[in-house]
Structure 1
Amino acid sequence: MSTPPNGLPIYRVLTGPDDATFCQRVSEMLGLGYELHEGPAVTFNGTNVIIAQALIWPK
């Protein structure tokens, strides 16, 4: 498949609290065929650890 399914963009950045829901969202994108783009960015908002993970569609 040369383009992502369902009209999704070729580059995605997922963000959210470091929890099971975030991990599931990233896992779903990997299951569709996306690849991780480098490592995640991690910060702390005073309450939660927040993660940002970029994903790209392989060429």
Structure 2
Amino acid sequence: MKYIATFFWTFLLVEMLTYVVSSMNGVEFQFMPAFIISIVTTILILVLSAVIPDGPREQH
């Protein structure tokens, strides 16, 4: 469920960002490049969340 929710929100935010930037530049909105970017961003987010530790470090 964590993976689906991450992809869902990443997809929405990247599509929104792509739409706004393309409108500001006066370029036609394209769905597929934003979809590919959202997949890559989701993978990066999941990899970073796996690498970063959850709890505080123990003091020795």
If each structure's helix is expressed as a fraction of its own residues, which one has the higher value?
Answer: 2
Shared fold, TM over 0.5: no
If each structure's strand is expressed as a fraction of its own residues, which one has the higher value?
Answer: 1
TM-score by length of 2: 0.29
Larger RCO, structure (CA 8 Å, separation 6 or more): 1
